[in-house]
């Protein structure tokens, strides 16, 4: 029983496992002198063990979905349509400002700060020398992150709107594939 489960797990997740192993090799290559091989390998094995442990439940869920005539992609599409209806009702700018500017902007400001510290050799010393420098970095990083987040979420709005229309409009598939036109419908 366990051998069959392992075989089906490897067959189902081999692409993800190859990608994770490539990331592990990249981490080993980048951390050559830091002796973090044990930590990286342990983290990799814990990730795989967790996925394998939950794989049996995932297989049962897939069987229940197949019995209803659904796939995992159908379930993701249904959840997307429900969630996107709520976002559409709140509006474009609320989505861009709240989710893109505030939430994603905060995460992007951390990334921008980390990039600054890796690019500028004495960046941490310069920041700690004067509190004004620290507040300037925080302000500039957050403004940059917020603007980038708003732009990203504006592009995501267009992409998600297109996906929503494709999933909810019954004629959309026919018209995109050029199997029908509006002249045929009249």
For 105-117, the pLDDT digits (tens) are 999 999 998 888 8
As a whole number, mean pLDDT of residues 48-56 equals 85
- The whole-angstrom separation of Cα 151 and Cα 135 is 24
What pTM, to 2 d.p., does this model score?
0.65
Label residues 44-80 b or e (16+ Cβ within 10 Å = b).
Answer: beeebeebeeebeeeeeeeeeeeeeeeeeeeeebeee
Of all residues in the chain, the percent with pLDDT exceeding 70 is 89
Q: Is the pLDDT of residue 168 over 90?
A: no
Band (178; pLDDT cuts 50, 70, 90): low
| Amino acid 143: pLDDT | 94
Could you tell me the sign of the dihedral formed by the alpha carbons of 42, 44, 46, 52, in that order?
negative
Q: How far is CA 116 from CA 15, 67, 111, 123, 185, in A?
A: 34, 53, 9, 7, 58
Which pair of tokens denotes residue 61? 């869920």
Q: Is the pLDDT of residue 186 over 60?
A: no
Band (142; pLDDT cuts 50, 70, 90): very high
- The whole-angstrom separation of Cα 47 and Cα 20 is 9
In sequence order, what DSSP letters do the residues of 132-186 get, joined into one string?
A: HHHHHHHHHHHHHHHHHHHHHHHHHHHHHHHHHHHHH-TTHHHHHTTS--HHHH-
Element (H, E) at 52: helix 37-67
Average pLDDT, the chain: 83
Higher pLDDT, residue 2 or 51: 51
| Amino acid 125: pLDDT | 79
Q: Is the pLDDT of residue 6 over 70?
A: yes
């Amino acid at each position: 029983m366990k051998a069959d489960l392992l075989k089906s797990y490897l067959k189902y997740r081999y692409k993800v496992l190859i990608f994770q192993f490539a990331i592990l090799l990249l981490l080993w290559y980048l951390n050559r002198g830091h002796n973090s091989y044990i930590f990286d390998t342990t983290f990799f094995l814990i990730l795989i063990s967790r996925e394998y442990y939950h794989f049996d439940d995932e297989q049962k869920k897939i069987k229940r979905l197949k019995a209803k005539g659904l796939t995992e992609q159908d379930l993701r599409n249904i959840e997307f349509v429900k969630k996107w209806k709520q976002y559409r009702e709140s509006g474009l700018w609320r989505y861009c400002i709240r989710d893109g500017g505030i939430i994603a902007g905060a995460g992007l400001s951390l990334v921008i700060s980390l990039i600054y510290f890796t690019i500028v050799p004495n960046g941490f010393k310069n920041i700690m020398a004067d509190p004004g420098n620290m507040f300037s970095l925080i302000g500039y990083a957050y403004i940059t992150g917020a603007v980038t987040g708003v732009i990203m979420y504006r592009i995501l709005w267009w992409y998600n709107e297109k996906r929503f229309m494709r999933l909810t409009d019954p004629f959309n598939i026919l018209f995109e594939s050029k199997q029908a036109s509006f002249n045929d419908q009249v």
